[in-house]
Chains A and B, each alone.
Chain A
Amino acid sequence: MPSALMREPDHPAPGAQALAHAFSLARGALHEVYAGTEADSPSLSALAMMLGEASTGTDGRVQAGQQATLWVRHEALGREVGEPHPAGLAELGFDPARLLLLRARDAPSALQAGLEGARCAALAAVIIELRGEAKAYDLTASRRLALAARASGVPVFMVRAAAAPMPSAAETRWLARAAPSRALAAKAPGHPAFHLVLLRARNGQDGLQHHLEWNRDAQRLESRLPGHGETAPAHQPGGEPAAPLSRAVVAIPVHRPGPARHEPPPHRRAG
């Protein structure tokens, strides 16, 4: 894995830098989050919202927490995985009043609505949740979204559970799933935890793996080890066993330096 995360864990500072960089979820770009099964759908929606939150306010111009997020959702998902519940959103630390929900009849109208949102610079993020395989989401559609996102500076998250990744113009593509949480006292389920594999990134850093936990109070995703004492599930969508990551709890700061795609990736000069 060509990641700085694999450096010795006693260097937390470069580790933090590297993690933040690995998560170069630039604003003004299209990001895809895939999952193997529909059961991971709620986790994916939440993850997209968390990533949107983490990518807000990078330029320091607008304060996170003020802007609305457009959530475009395929109507049929309501039957498959349930309707969004505002109390649950609030429990995750998102203000339901800041969410704009669009129930799309089919994939083409979902993409059209998402595109309309991606052009609106006043949004914090656009989340498009399609259902299953969608023919309408092809190279052209993804290119349109990516261009609109670049022009307006709004991050667009394409969320697709139970769909096979397709070639697209996305900046990053992640394979995500819910991960066993760190149990609280008396074996109670803990904070939402996720396992992410970077399938593809424009800057070539693929294969990265992350175990992340959502810290609601700090509004950030934190890296952590897989739940102690819990064995990772046998069938891994990523295909490889979860590698132990940095031991230090590293946070992705909400306010980070500008989008990484504008600057060359940091590298060490020899001599």
Chain B
Amino acid sequence: MNRPRTGGPDDRPFVLVEQDRGALRIAALDPAAARGGLRAGMALAEARALWPDIETAQAEPEADAALMRHLAELCDLFTPLVALHARDGLILDVTGCAHLFGGEREMVWRVRRRLGMLGLASCAAISATPQAAWALARDRRNIIVAAGDEEQAARTLPLTALEQDATTTLALGRAGFRTLGDLADRPSGMLTARFGAGLADALRRILGQEDIRITPLRPAPEVMAEKHFAAPLGLLESLLTVLERLAQDIMAALERRGAGGRAFEVSVFRSDGAVRRITIETAQGLREAAGLMRLVRLKLEALSDPLDPGFGFDAVRLVVIRSEPMAERQAALDGNTEGQTQAGDVASLVDRLSARFGRESVQRFVMRDTHDPVRAGGSVPFLSSKTVALSAPREPDKPEPGQPPARPLTLFEPPQWIEALAEVPDGPPLRFRWRRVLHEVARAEGPERIAPEWWRCGNAAPATRDYYRIENAHGHRFWVFREGLYEDSLARPRWFLHGLFA
């Protein structure tokens, strides 16, 4: 758990101020200011009365939050389960991770050194429950609580450690409680009756009697392999070599589980604290390290800002974000994997194209069961897994034999306004002008009346449309519609071009 502090440039007290209830108040302060009797929440005018020469700067909560997110990324180096807490806290679930860094003491030292390198002061505590560790670090105690000693460590904490609202804290203080130990000695039923269950819960968690896990920023990976380097690695090519070995490791792990990876993530930690992540998705389960490396290389080539080694890479991690069960494929005796090679080739083509041109560029068509032509079909990224959730995807209807196509090959969204002249008020247009070109209608069919799905469009339902298939003298075929029913609209009806036929 870390608490970044802004160090003052010199010995003068330094505070950050923010506008609050019409006054400038101190949002954060440095140790010198704290020694001088200032505290957070104090009005700046009051502070200046105490210390006329204090230095101030505007607080930037958004920038702070961005910094905390960046630090969370950085701490990802130590454990995949990192959560943000309050405005200035990080909670790392280091269960089962400490031994990788030479024990808990060594690990805390490394985390704090890492933050120190960025010019941040920090406090850190390790305890059995995240709330206990948080309360201890908040109280500026850098301790590692052994299992079973949580209550002992937490008893001396002040009431503010409970992080209840001001009235509750005040009421507890007036009741004569000073530390959590005082509260812990009372039966919890009494506290619950007076202050609600929230207080008793908070107390139990800090005392280590109840453990709720943190909600990490990033979901826990299914399979993970990583490599920390003794000295920063300066060459991209060597990084890829290491990555290939990691890929072999995780593929072996996937094989043991009988699964194939659908989404992978490569995280590269640079020694200056920058973290780059590259996500790779595949169209079907992947279990070959060479295949994954090919996709990684394609993706790296396509990056708009290349992966810059800078002062070198500290560590690299390869994670399987999503996997699916994958049937073992038995190669036939002649080495052929019947039939599956065909689909397999297309899937790997999709992977290559998605890696090279971006996930959004490679698409497939989906159709929905609706009469609304706009909603009836569209294209979605090939690799998106959301298609199952689309409302009632359906097989295309078999078109009526012997009839020409009833729907256009391309659709304009939104429809394009055209200037049309109809022979009879409710008939097809005689001629129309689209993009400054006049088209004489030679053949027409219609109308096909399509009403909007009123249950989807709130109060202002769009007008019913009368669609016509028309063809001009040159053989170009169009799908146009007149907006609104003729008898309803007194004004001149508006015409639109919605699509083009082949």
Contact = CB atoms under 8 A, between A and B. Distances in A.
Interface residues of A, number: 66
A181 interface: yes
A97 B394 CA distance: 11
A76 B236 CA distance: 36
Contact of B364 (A42, A91, A97, A123): A97
A43 B500 CA distance: 9
B350 interface: yes
Interface in B435-492: 442-445, 469-471, 473-477
Interface string A99-119: 111111100010011001100
A230 interface: yes
A41 B501 CA distance: 10
A114 B431 CA distance: 39
Contacts of A66: 342
Main SS at interface, chain A: mixed
A54 to B, nearest CB: 15
A102 B363 CA distance: 6
B229 interface: no
Contacts of A177: 474-475
Determine which residue in A91, A177, A230 has the highest number of CB atoms from chain B within 10 A of its CB, and name it: A91
A270 interface: no
A97 B367 CA distance: 9
A141 interface: no
B364 A181 contact: no
Determine which residue in B352, B442, B471, B502 has the highest number of CB atoms from chain A within 10 A of its CB, and name it: B502
A138 interface: no
A13 interface: no
B365 A46 contact: no
Interface string A80-105: 01111111111111011101111111
Contacts of B405: 88, 91-92, 192, 216
Interface string A43-82: 1011100000000000000100011101000000000011
Interface stretch (B168-176, B263-271, B410-418): B410-418
Given A42-B410, A122-B349, A101 B363 contact: yes
B101 interface: no
A100 B346 contact: yes
Given A104-B357, A117-B349, A123-B346, A86 B473 contact: no
A73 B379 CA distance: 13
Contacts of B357: 102, 104-105, 109, 113
A42 B500 contact: yes
Contacts of A189: 404, 443-445, 469-471, 477, 501
B474 to A, nearest CB: 5
A139 interface: no
B346 A47 contact: no
A59 B413 CA distance: 41
B273 interface: no
A47 B502 contact: yes
A85 B409 contact: yes
Interface string B112-139: 0000000000000000000000000000
B238 interface: no
Given A113-B357, A120-B349, A88 B477 contact: no
Interface string B366-385: 11000001001111001000
Contacts of B328: none
B367 A96 contact: yes
B356 interface: yes
B377 A96 contact: yes
Contacts of A117: 349, 353
A187 B401 contact: no
B362 interface: yes
Nearest to A186: B445
B399 A85 contact: no
Contacts of B349: 70, 100, 116-117, 120, 122-123
A39 B476 contact: yes
Given A90-B367, A102-B353, A42 B346 contact: no
A241 interface: no
Main SS at interface, chain B: mixed
Contact of A187 (B404, B413, B443, B501): B443
A263 interface: no
B185 interface: no
B409 A101 contact: no
Given A85-B377, A188-B445, A189-B445, A42 B363 contact: no
B96 interface: no
A217 B502 contact: no
A117 B346 CA distance: 9
A193 B473 CA distance: 13
A189 to B, nearest CB: 4
Given A88-B411, A95-B396, A82 B500 contact: yes
A178 interface: yes
A180 interface: yes
Contacts of A216: 399, 405
Nearest to B471: A189
B89 interface: no
A40 B410 CA distance: 12
B334 interface: no
Contacts of B470: 189
B335 interface: no
A26 interface: no
Contacts of A190: 404, 443
B409 A89 contact: yes
22 contacts: A47-B502, A81-B410, A83-B412, A85-B407, A85-B411, A86-B376, A88-B410, A90-B407, A92-B409, A96-B365, A101-B363, A105-B357, A112-B356, A116-B349, A123-B346, A188-B444, A189-B443, A189-B471, A193-B475, A216-B399, A217-B401, A233-B474
Interface of A: 39-43, 45-47, 62, 66-68, 70, 81-93, 95-97, 99-105, 109, 112-113, 116-117, 120-123, 177-181, 183-184, 186-193, 195, 214, 216-217, 230, 233
Given A39-B474, A82-B499, 15 more contacts: A67-B346, A83-B410, A83-B413, A87-B367, A88-B501, A89-B409, A93-B399, A101-B379, A102-B361, A116-B353, A181-B475, A187-B442, A188-B404, A188-B445, A233-B474
Q: What 6 A-B pairs come out closest when comparing CB atoms?
A: A46-B502, A82-B410, A90-B396, A86-B377, A122-B345, A91-B405
